Amino acid sequence: MSIVVVGSINADLTVNVERHPFPGETLLGGGGGITPGGKGANQAVAAARLGSEVFLVGAVGEDAHAHEATHLLIDAGVDLSAVEVSPKPTGLAVITVAADGENTVMVVPGANGDVGAGVVDKHAALIADAELVLLQGEIPADGFARAVELAEGRVVVNLAPVIDVDRDALKQADPLIVNEHEAQLVLGKEASPEECLEELLAEFSSVVVTLGADGALVGNADGIVRIASPTVVAVDSVGAGDAFTGALCHRLLKGDSLVEAAAFASRVGAFSVTRPGAQPSYPNYSQLRLENGAE
Protein backbone atom coordinates (compact mmCIF):
# COMPACT_ATOMS: atom_id res chain seq x y z
CA MET A 1 0.00 0.00 0.00
CA SER A 2 1.73 3.14 -1.20
CA ILE A 3 1.38 6.89 -0.85
CA VAL A 4 2.22 9.04 -3.86
CA VAL A 5 2.85 12.66 -2.96
CA VAL A 6 2.57 15.11 -5.84
CA GLY A 7 4.08 18.26 -4.47
CA SER A 8 6.84 20.71 -3.73
CA ILE A 9 10.47 20.29 -2.76
CA ASN A 10 12.20 23.30 -1.20
CA ALA A 11 15.34 24.39 0.52
CA ASP A 12 14.39 26.26 3.70
CA LEU A 13 16.39 29.31 4.78
CA THR A 14 15.52 29.88 8.44
CA VAL A 15 16.11 33.06 10.44
CA ASN A 16 15.44 33.19 14.19
CA VAL A 17 14.15 36.46 15.70
CA GLU A 18 12.84 37.56 19.08
CA ARG A 19 9.63 38.71 17.40
CA HIS A 20 8.41 39.22 13.86
CA PRO A 21 9.29 42.64 12.39
CA PHE A 22 6.74 45.32 11.69
CA PRO A 23 6.45 46.55 8.06
CA GLY A 24 9.50 48.63 7.21
CA GLU A 25 11.39 47.51 10.33
CA THR A 26 14.85 45.90 10.36
CA LEU A 27 15.68 43.33 13.05
CA LEU A 28 18.83 41.36 13.75
CA GLY A 29 18.37 37.62 13.70
CA GLY A 30 20.25 34.37 14.03
CA GLY A 31 20.36 31.08 12.22
CA GLY A 32 20.67 31.43 8.46
CA GLY A 33 21.13 27.71 7.85
CA ILE A 34 19.60 25.72 4.98
CA THR A 35 17.42 22.70 5.73
CA PRO A 36 15.16 20.58 3.52
CA GLY A 37 11.51 21.60 3.18
CA GLY A 38 8.58 22.06 0.83
CA LYS A 39 5.13 20.87 1.81
CA GLY A 40 5.22 17.88 -0.53
CA ALA A 41 8.64 16.76 0.64
CA ASN A 42 7.82 17.40 4.31
CA GLN A 43 4.68 15.28 4.19
CA ALA A 44 6.49 12.54 2.30
CA VAL A 45 9.22 12.39 4.95
CA ALA A 46 6.69 12.42 7.80
CA ALA A 47 4.83 9.40 6.38
CA ALA A 48 7.98 7.52 5.38
CA ARG A 49 9.59 7.90 8.81
CA LEU A 50 6.56 6.17 10.27
CA GLY A 51 6.93 3.25 7.85
CA SER A 52 4.79 4.03 4.80
CA GLU A 53 6.04 3.29 1.29
CA VAL A 54 6.17 6.77 -0.24
CA PHE A 55 6.86 8.02 -3.76
CA LEU A 56 7.32 11.70 -4.57
CA VAL A 57 6.44 13.38 -7.87
CA GLY A 58 8.15 16.77 -8.03
CA ALA A 59 11.09 18.75 -9.36
CA VAL A 60 14.39 20.27 -8.20
CA GLY A 61 17.03 22.37 -9.92
CA GLU A 62 20.63 21.59 -10.74
CA ASP A 63 21.90 24.03 -8.11
CA ALA A 64 23.59 23.39 -4.78
CA HIS A 65 20.26 23.61 -2.93
CA ALA A 66 19.01 20.42 -4.63
CA HIS A 67 21.14 18.21 -2.39
CA GLU A 68 20.07 20.07 0.75
CA ALA A 69 16.45 19.79 -0.31
CA THR A 70 16.50 16.03 -0.90
CA HIS A 71 18.97 14.37 1.47
CA LEU A 72 16.44 13.71 4.24
CA LEU A 73 13.97 12.36 1.69
CA ILE A 74 16.63 9.85 0.73
CA ASP A 75 17.43 9.13 4.37
CA ALA A 76 13.73 8.45 5.10
CA GLY A 77 13.48 6.04 2.17
CA VAL A 78 11.20 8.11 -0.06
CA ASP A 79 11.37 6.97 -3.69
CA LEU A 80 12.58 9.93 -5.79
CA SER A 81 12.55 8.26 -9.21
CA ALA A 82 9.67 10.56 -10.26
CA VAL A 83 11.49 13.76 -9.26
CA GLU A 84 12.43 15.76 -12.37
CA VAL A 85 15.54 17.92 -12.77
CA SER A 86 14.70 21.44 -13.94
CA PRO A 87 16.83 24.28 -15.35
CA LYS A 88 15.07 26.50 -12.79
CA PRO A 89 16.51 26.82 -9.28
CA THR A 90 15.33 24.52 -6.53
CA GLY A 91 12.36 26.00 -4.67
CA LEU A 92 13.30 28.26 -1.78
CA ALA A 93 11.37 29.07 1.39
CA VAL A 94 12.47 31.97 3.60
CA ILE A 95 11.25 31.33 7.14
CA THR A 96 11.33 33.57 10.19
CA VAL A 97 10.81 31.92 13.57
CA ALA A 98 10.00 34.06 16.61
CA ALA A 99 10.98 33.21 20.18
CA ASP A 100 7.49 31.83 20.90
CA GLY A 101 7.85 29.35 18.02
CA GLU A 102 5.43 31.14 15.69
CA ASN A 103 6.66 31.41 12.10
CA THR A 104 6.13 33.20 8.81
CA VAL A 105 7.04 31.67 5.45
CA MET A 106 7.68 33.16 2.01
CA VAL A 107 8.10 30.70 -0.85
CA VAL A 108 9.85 31.15 -4.20
CA PRO A 109 8.51 28.21 -6.28
CA GLY A 110 11.44 27.78 -8.69
CA ALA A 111 11.46 24.22 -10.08
CA ASN A 112 8.15 23.46 -8.34
CA GLY A 113 6.52 25.58 -11.03
CA ASP A 114 7.36 22.82 -13.52
CA VAL A 115 5.09 20.28 -11.80
CA GLY A 116 2.15 20.97 -14.07
CA ALA A 117 -0.03 18.58 -16.04
CA GLY A 118 2.82 17.61 -18.40
CA VAL A 119 5.13 16.41 -15.64
CA VAL A 120 2.26 14.73 -13.80
CA ASP A 121 1.29 12.85 -16.97
CA LYS A 122 4.80 11.39 -17.20
CA HIS A 123 4.07 9.55 -13.97
CA ALA A 124 0.45 8.62 -14.65
CA ALA A 125 0.90 4.91 -13.93
CA LEU A 126 2.55 5.58 -10.57
CA ILE A 127 -0.26 7.91 -9.51
CA ALA A 128 -3.01 5.57 -10.73
CA ASP A 129 -1.50 2.63 -8.82
CA ALA A 130 -1.25 4.49 -5.50
CA GLU A 131 -3.47 3.53 -2.60
CA LEU A 132 -3.46 7.19 -1.60
CA VAL A 133 -2.50 10.35 -3.52
CA LEU A 134 -1.55 13.36 -1.41
CA LEU A 135 -1.59 16.92 -2.77
CA GLN A 136 -0.91 20.46 -1.49
CA GLY A 137 -1.02 23.98 -2.95
CA GLU A 138 2.62 24.53 -3.90
CA ILE A 139 2.42 23.20 -7.48
CA PRO A 140 0.58 24.62 -10.52
CA ALA A 141 -3.20 24.23 -10.52
CA ASP A 142 -3.20 22.19 -13.75
CA GLY A 143 -0.77 19.69 -12.21
CA PHE A 144 -3.02 19.45 -9.16
CA ALA A 145 -6.13 18.81 -11.26
CA ARG A 146 -4.40 16.24 -13.47
CA ALA A 147 -3.13 14.29 -10.46
CA VAL A 148 -6.66 14.12 -9.06
CA GLU A 149 -7.95 12.96 -12.44
CA LEU A 150 -5.36 10.18 -12.63
CA ALA A 151 -5.81 8.97 -9.05
CA GLU A 152 -7.71 5.72 -8.64
CA GLY A 153 -7.14 5.45 -4.90
CA ARG A 154 -7.99 7.81 -2.08
CA VAL A 155 -7.18 11.50 -2.61
CA VAL A 156 -6.09 13.62 0.35
CA VAL A 157 -5.58 17.36 -0.10
CA ASN A 158 -3.83 19.77 2.23
CA LEU A 159 -4.67 22.97 0.37
CA ALA A 160 -1.77 25.03 1.69
CA PRO A 161 -1.25 27.61 0.48
CA VAL A 162 -4.81 28.13 -0.75
CA ILE A 163 -4.49 28.46 -4.52
CA ASP A 164 -7.20 28.72 -7.15
CA VAL A 165 -7.72 25.10 -8.20
CA ASP A 166 -10.55 23.42 -10.06
CA ARG A 167 -13.36 23.13 -7.50
CA ASP A 168 -14.56 19.78 -8.80
CA ALA A 169 -11.04 18.40 -8.47
CA LEU A 170 -10.75 19.81 -4.96
CA LYS A 171 -14.02 18.18 -3.95
CA GLN A 172 -12.46 14.75 -4.51
CA ALA A 173 -10.46 15.30 -1.32
CA ASP A 174 -11.20 12.75 1.40
CA PRO A 175 -10.31 14.48 3.61
CA LEU A 176 -9.63 18.11 2.82
CA ILE A 177 -7.08 19.30 5.40
CA VAL A 178 -6.84 23.04 6.14
CA ASN A 179 -5.91 25.20 9.09
CA GLU A 180 -8.41 27.69 10.49
CA HIS A 181 -7.15 30.53 8.24
CA GLU A 182 -7.10 28.37 5.10
CA ALA A 183 -10.63 27.17 5.86
CA GLN A 184 -11.85 30.76 5.65
CA LEU A 185 -10.01 31.28 2.36
CA VAL A 186 -11.54 28.13 0.84
CA LEU A 187 -14.99 29.38 1.85
CA GLY A 188 -14.28 32.98 0.87
CA LYS A 189 -15.60 34.36 4.16
CA GLU A 190 -14.68 34.93 7.80
CA ALA A 191 -16.10 32.43 10.23
CA SER A 192 -15.15 30.42 13.30
CA PRO A 193 -13.39 27.07 12.76
CA GLU A 194 -16.58 25.26 13.77
CA GLU A 195 -18.69 27.26 11.33
CA CYS A 196 -16.12 26.72 8.57
CA LEU A 197 -16.14 22.98 9.14
CA GLU A 198 -19.92 22.77 9.00
CA GLU A 199 -20.06 24.74 5.76
CA LEU A 200 -17.23 22.80 4.15
CA LEU A 201 -18.99 19.53 4.94
CA ALA A 202 -21.77 20.65 2.60
CA GLU A 203 -19.23 20.30 -0.24
CA PHE A 204 -16.69 17.75 0.97
CA SER A 205 -17.16 14.19 2.23
CA SER A 206 -14.68 14.75 5.05
CA VAL A 207 -12.75 17.72 6.41
CA VAL A 208 -10.01 18.24 9.00
CA VAL A 209 -9.44 21.76 10.34
CA THR A 210 -6.16 21.96 12.26
CA LEU A 211 -5.96 24.38 15.18
CA GLY A 212 -2.31 24.28 16.21
CA ALA A 213 -1.90 23.83 19.94
CA ASP A 214 -5.70 23.52 20.25
CA GLY A 215 -5.73 20.27 18.27
CA ALA A 216 -8.07 19.73 15.33
CA LEU A 217 -11.70 19.44 14.27
CA VAL A 218 -12.66 16.37 12.25
CA GLY A 219 -15.89 16.15 10.33
CA ASN A 220 -17.51 13.55 8.08
CA ALA A 221 -20.82 11.75 7.67
CA ASP A 222 -20.52 10.43 11.26
CA GLY A 223 -20.45 13.92 12.74
CA ILE A 224 -17.90 16.38 14.10
CA VAL A 225 -15.23 15.49 16.68
CA ARG A 226 -12.68 17.74 18.39
CA ILE A 227 -9.22 16.21 18.72
CA ALA A 228 -7.02 17.46 21.56
CA SER A 229 -3.31 18.11 21.11
CA PRO A 230 -0.73 17.07 23.71
CA THR A 231 0.62 19.97 25.77
CA VAL A 232 4.25 20.65 24.84
CA VAL A 233 6.75 23.49 24.97
CA ALA A 234 7.00 24.79 21.40
CA VAL A 235 10.44 25.49 19.99
CA ASP A 236 9.61 25.83 16.30
CA SER A 237 6.22 25.34 14.63
CA VAL A 238 7.64 25.17 11.08
CA GLY A 239 6.31 22.08 9.30
CA ALA A 240 4.03 20.96 12.13
CA GLY A 241 1.01 20.90 9.83
CA ASP A 242 2.96 18.78 7.36
CA ALA A 243 3.94 16.36 10.12
CA PHE A 244 0.24 16.09 10.99
CA THR A 245 -0.78 15.48 7.38
CA GLY A 246 1.88 12.87 6.65
CA ALA A 247 1.09 11.01 9.85
CA LEU A 248 -2.66 11.12 9.17
CA CYS A 249 -2.17 9.59 5.71
CA HIS A 250 0.10 6.90 7.17
CA ARG A 251 -2.55 5.86 9.67
CA LEU A 252 -5.37 5.96 7.11
CA LEU A 253 -3.44 3.36 5.10
CA LYS A 254 -3.11 1.30 8.28
CA GLY A 255 -6.90 1.16 8.44
CA ASP A 256 -7.62 3.81 11.07
CA SER A 257 -10.82 5.81 10.95
CA LEU A 258 -10.36 9.49 10.18
CA VAL A 259 -10.82 10.38 13.86
CA GLU A 260 -8.27 7.78 14.96
CA ALA A 261 -5.80 8.92 12.32
CA ALA A 262 -6.23 12.58 13.33
CA ALA A 263 -5.67 11.75 17.00
CA PHE A 264 -2.40 10.01 16.14
CA ALA A 265 -1.42 12.84 13.78
CA SER A 266 -1.94 15.39 16.56
CA ARG A 267 0.68 13.58 18.62
CA VAL A 268 3.13 13.63 15.72
CA GLY A 269 2.50 17.31 15.07
CA ALA A 270 3.01 18.14 18.75
CA PHE A 271 6.26 16.15 18.81
CA SER A 272 7.57 18.07 15.81
CA VAL A 273 7.22 21.52 17.41
CA THR A 274 9.52 20.51 20.27
CA ARG A 275 12.48 20.45 17.87
CA PRO A 276 13.82 22.99 15.36
CA GLY A 277 13.20 22.71 11.63
CA ALA A 278 10.63 20.83 9.60
CA GLN A 279 11.86 17.45 8.37
CA PRO A 280 14.60 17.15 11.03
CA SER A 281 11.90 17.29 13.71
CA TYR A 282 9.74 14.43 12.41
CA PRO A 283 9.65 11.28 14.56
CA ASN A 284 9.72 7.57 13.91
CA TYR A 285 7.67 5.19 16.05
CA SER A 286 10.40 4.54 18.60
CA GLN A 287 10.74 8.27 19.24
CA LEU A 288 7.01 8.60 19.85
CA ARG A 289 7.14 5.82 22.46
CA LEU A 290 3.64 4.73 21.61
CA GLU A 291 1.64 3.06 24.37
CA ASN A 292 0.18 -0.41 24.16
CA GLY A 293 2.41 -1.46 21.27
CA ALA A 294 0.41 0.58 18.73
CA GLU A 295 1.69 0.35 15.18
CATH assignment at residue 216: 3.40.1190.20
Which are the catalytic amino acids? Answer: 242
The angle subtended at Cα 157 by Cα 151 and Cα 161, nearest 5°, is: 130
Q: Is 225 within the bounds of a domain?
A: yes
Q: What is the reported pLDDT for 291?
A: 41
Q: Is 59 within the bounds of a domain?
A: yes
Q: Is 21 within the bounds of a domain?
A: no
Q: What is the reported pLDDT for 235?
A: 85
Q: Is 206 within the bounds of a domain?
A: yes
Gap between the Cα atoms of 265 and 249, Å rounded? 9
Q: What is the reported pLDDT for 290?
A: 52
**Would you say 41 is a known binding-site residue?**
yes
The answer to whether 229 touches 269, Cβ cutoff 8 Å, is: yes
Q: Is 28 within the bounds of a domain?
A: no
Q: How many domains are there within the chain?
A: 1
The whole domain housing 228 covers 2-9+39-89+109-292
**Would you say 150 is a known binding-site residue?**
no
Gap between the Cα atoms of 188 and 80, Å rounded? 36
**Would you say 116 is a known binding-site residue?**
no
Q: Is 45 within the bounds of a domain?
A: yes
E strands, 147-290, are 154-158, 176-179, 207-210, 216-220, 223-227
**Would you say 215 is a known binding-site residue?**
yes
**Would you say 10 is a known binding-site residue?**
yes
E strands, 117-220, are 132-135, 154-158, 176-179, 207-210, 216-220
Q: Is 128 within the bounds of a domain?
A: yes
Q: What is the reported pLDDT for 293?
A: 43
**Would you say 131 is a known binding-site residue?**
no
Q: What is the reported pLDDT for 292?
A: 37
pLDDT per residue as tens digits for the range 206-264:
999 999 999 999 999 999 999 999 989 888 888 999 999 999 999 999 999 999 999 99
**Would you say 236 is a known binding-site residue?**
yes
Regions of the chain where pLDDT drops below 70: 290-295
Q: What is the reported pLDDT for 190?
A: 95
Q: What is the reported pLDDT for 56?
A: 98
Q: Is 227 within the bounds of a domain?
A: yes
Q: What is the reported pLDDT for 277?
A: 81
**Would you say 151 is a known binding-site residue?**
no
